Structure 1
Amino acid sequence: MRKIWVLFVLLPLIGFLAACGSDAGANGEGDSKEITIGYFPNINHVAGMVAEEKDLYSETLPDGTTVNYQYFPDGSSFMTAIETGDIQGGLVGPGPAMNHFTSGAKINVVAAGSTGGTVIMARNGADIESPEDMVGKTFISPRVGCTHDVQFETLMKEEYGITSSRIDGEMKHVTGKPATYASMFEAGKVDVATVPEPWASSIEAEGNGTVLIDTPDVAYGETLPAAVFVTSQELVNDNPEMVENIVEAHKNATTFIQENPEEAKAIAIKKIKDITDQELSQEVIDNAWERIDFTYEVEEKHLQDFANSSYDLGFLEEKPDLTGLVDLSFVE
């Protein structure tokens, strides 16, 4: 009789635990009811802004899915969030994505976000008329080894033979948020900035600096994805349907930008103000837009070439092999 009573108590409990275990999170073990998408408040990431403002992820994900958004100041914090599962996907520069992949991170680039948009700005009064004048000067980038840093340092090394003091060269390097570069120019704290749009156009409009090297002349300026859409390999393997739905929304956002540029610009102005508390003028947005191509297409060769440059500059300890990083099955 006691055995029967024990089974009577345990069977409902076992059923309850099984039910709890069946409601999996976004790791692909079941249908997630909540996901988080990440991006930066940069013009290269307008697809993230449009997708949020137009609620495009809710259109492609299963009914009842809650979509959250998280904003990042740099690629390192974004990649950490991908690896820990705090976000399920989003836009980041190719530099952090490749650096983390070569360090063992289990991630996939499943689409691009945009190309172009990196500009090298010189502070007014810094006595810099050409890149050759960078000897002994200080430049700023968002992070050490980030996309914009590698683009600038590759150009300076290959074209002018000038390198950072990090590798016993002639330029001093500091880091900071792009939204602060105009004020740092005004205060005379840095001489040159390798800047993602719209902050280059903002510096131009405020009269604190001038273009030293424009987008087409920066290393990989028009071929390298300025932003890539990244998710975890675990999510790709365990829940490819979710990844397909996420990428489909991202593609829809990109198409919207291509077909509705003026509305997309208005969304970018609004979202950047919401996130950074800085309101950009129409002039700044229009100028920045001219330097960027919004696309979800990505070529692995361009990423590999860029990664080789990261290695040549000493940002990577071993020559990188990006085999397995890019998964184009979701954009084909």
Structure 2
Amino acid sequence: MTETRFRTFLAGIALGTSLAFAAPASAEVSEVTLANQFSLSHLPLMIMKDQQFIEKQLAAQGLPDTKVNWISLAGSSAMIDGLLSGSLHVASTGTSGFAVLWDKTKGQVKSLGAQAYNVLNLVTRLPGVEKLEDLPLDTKIAVPAVGTSPQALALKIAALQKFGPDQINRFDQMTVTMAHPDAYAALQSSGSGVDSHFTAPPFEVWETARIDGAKVILSAEDVQGGEPATGTVLMATTKFRDANPKTFTAVHEALKDSVNFINENPEEAAKIYLAALNNTKDSVEETAKLIADPRMGYTVTPTNVVKLLGLFKDVGAIKTVPEDWKDLFFPELHELNGN
């Protein structure tokens, strides 16, 4: 769903939201709306939808009639609007977009759990370009969300490290917002104007294998300290959790169910992922290998999140870095061994 269509969707359910807020304090929402994205980093929500894990957990909480709505978006901008308005209850987003919103709301938005850590790679098809510094200033780099996505902030961190603090925004003018499937298609078209794509799995593998001259010129992991860090999380407002404790618990438990399903059934998870993208070209076997790639990991436990937010602060994306990862996550996760 595009951002424009999403805003129309929000308008369409605004009345239902206002009625929900007008209900007695003990009543929970009659509908819960979640937003997801397109890469393997967001696979847990695709599993959650396919396996109806939320519906099962809602029934266990005594809420069998609660309706679950699903929408797909390219990046964090519309998700932020939806969460703040109350029309969207739970969103799957990159750690960077979540960090921006957590900082902006002074902790009124927190995470229900991590989803995945992975490798984000910048792919270009431009001849003669072997490293980031070689990119011409008129190139176009597709990212999930300009200014807030993990890929966009990785470019800022790289600019800081390679060119100095006065060049943090060096690559901003090159970035354009595109969903990963659209960026993949654009990179295959000589007339699209997009010649580089800061990917998330599996798009780097597909692009370097199928597009002439396509190659990786930067890894986000390299500029973020060389260690894996949580790349995607689920986020919600504290207001939603406080007003809807049973619904919140159902979503949180469904996330754990989804992560366990992926780790125990990579081939079945691959089938669900390919079906969600209407992808009949790629094999289940190869996609399952990508899911099981040791560079990726599916876990609700936060990994190197505080360190990552420190880098976001260095490039001006956020003002505050928490002393403890638990400041970012709801209490349901505090017993985990995160960092």
Which bin holds the TM-score, normalised by the shorter protein? 0.7 to 0.9
Q: State the match for 2:264 in structure 1.
A: 259
Structure 1 residue 322, shift from structure 2 partner: 7.4
CA pair 145-102 structure 1, distance change in 2 beyond 3 A: same
Q: State the match for 1:150 in structure 2.
A: 153
Q: Which is higher, the Rg of structure 1 or of structure 2?
A: 1
Q: State the match for 2:142 in structure 1.
A: 140
Q: State the match for 1:3 in structure 2.
A: none
Q: Could you give the per-residue CA deviations for residues 38-86 of structure 1, whole angstroms, max 9, x where no partner exists?
A: 2112111111001101111111112222111111111111122122122
Output the amino acid matched with 1:155. Answer: A
- What's the secondary structure of 1:113's corresponding residue? strand
Is this contact kept in 2: 1:165–1:173, CA < 8 A?
A: no
Structure 1 residue 296, shift from structure 2 partner: 1.0
Structure 2 residue aligned with 1:236, among 227, 238, 241?
241
TM-score of the pair, normalised by structure 2: 0.77
Q: State the match for 2:28 in structure 1.
A: 31
Q: State the match for 2:196 in structure 1.
A: 192
Residue 40 (1) aligns with residue 37 (2)? yes
Residue 292 (1) aligns with residue 289 (2)? no
Moved more, 233-242 or 74-83: 233-242
Whole-Å separation in 2 of the counterparts to 1:57 and 1:26:
23
Q: State the match for 2:47 in structure 1.
A: 50
Output the amino acid matched with 1:272. Answer: L
Structure 1 residue 313, shift from structure 2 partner: 1.8
Output the amino acid matched with 1:310. Answer: F
Whole-Å separation in 1 of the counterparts to 2:244 and 2:44:
23
CA pair 22-176 structure 1, distance change in 2 beyond 3 A: closer
Structure 1 residue 29, shift from structure 2 partner: 4.2
Whole-Å separation in 2 of the counterparts to 1:136 and 1:85:
40
Residue 206 (1) aligns with residue 210 (2)? yes
Whole-Å separation in 1 of the counterparts to 2:309 and 2:234:
17
Aligned residues: 302
Output the amino acid matched with 1:157. Answer: L
Q: Could you give the per-residue CA deviations for residues 130-169 of structure 1, whole angstroms, max 9, x where no partner exists?
A: 33423646333222231111123323432x33789673x3
CA pair 286-237 structure 1, distance change in 2 beyond 3 A: same
CA pair 319-298 structure 1, distance change in 2 beyond 3 A: closer
Q: Could you give the per-residue CA deviations for residues 165-214 of structure 1, whole angstroms, max 9, x where no partner exists?
A: 673x3774221212232344342734432212222222123224112234
Q: State the match for 1:94 in structure 2.
A: 95
Q: State the match for 1:16 in structure 2.
A: none
- What's the secondary structure of 1:196's corresponding residue? coil
Whole-Å separation in 2 of the counterparts to 1:163 and 1:264:
42
RMSD: 3.1
Whole-Å separation in 1 of the counterparts to 2:149 and 2:49:
25
Output the amino acid matched with 2:306. Answer: Q
Structure 1 residue 102, shift from structure 2 partner: 1.3
Structure 1 residue 251, shift from structure 2 partner: 0.4
Whole-Å separation in 2 of the counterparts to 1:304 and 1:184:
34
Q: Could you give the per-residue CA deviations for residues 270-293 of structure 1, whole angstroms, max 9, x where no partner exists?
A: 0022xxxx5551276356432421
Structure 1 residue aligned with 2:273, among 250, 257, 268?
268
Q: State the match for 1:181 in structure 2.
A: 183
Q: Among all aligned residue pairs of Structure 1 and Structure 2, give the percentage whose two residues are the same amino acid.
A: 17
Structure 1 residue 325, shift from structure 2 partner: 2.7
Whole-Å separation in 1 of the counterparts to 2:33 and 2:43:
17
Output the amino acid matched with 1:39. Answer: N
Whole-Å separation in 2 of the counterparts to 1:261 and 1:96:
27
TM-score of the pair, normalised by structure 1: 0.79
- What's the secondary structure of 2:277's corresponding residue? helix
Whole-Å separation in 1 of the counterparts to 2:225 and 2:24:
34
CA pair 136-26 structure 1, distance change in 2 beyond 3 A: farther
Output the amino acid matched with 1:193. Answer: H
Structure 1 residue 310, shift from structure 2 partner: 2.2
Whole-Å separation in 2 of the counterparts to 1:140 and 1:146:
11
Structure 1 residue 129, shift from structure 2 partner: 1.5
- What's the secondary structure of 1:145's corresponding residue? coil
Whole-Å separation in 2 of the counterparts to 1:36 and 1:71:
11
Unaligned runs of 5+ in 2: 1-17
Query: Where do residues 72-111 of structure 1 align in structure 2 (5 Å cutoff)?
Result: 72-104=73-105, 106-111=108-113
Whole-Å separation in 2 of the counterparts to 1:315 and 1:253:
31
CA pair 24-153 structure 1, distance change in 2 beyond 3 A: closer
CA pair 268-191 structure 1, distance change in 2 beyond 3 A: same
Output the amino acid matched with 1:145. Answer: T
Is this contact kept in 1: 2:41–2:117, CA < 8 A?
A: yes
Residue 224 (1) aligns with residue 221 (2)? no
Structure 1 residue aligned with 2:329, among 290, 309, 326?
326
Query: Where do residues 163-178 of structure 1 align in structure 2 (5 Å cutoff)?
Result: 167=169, 169=170, 172-177=173-178, 178=180
Is this contact kept in 2: 1:24–1:31, CA < 8 A?
A: no
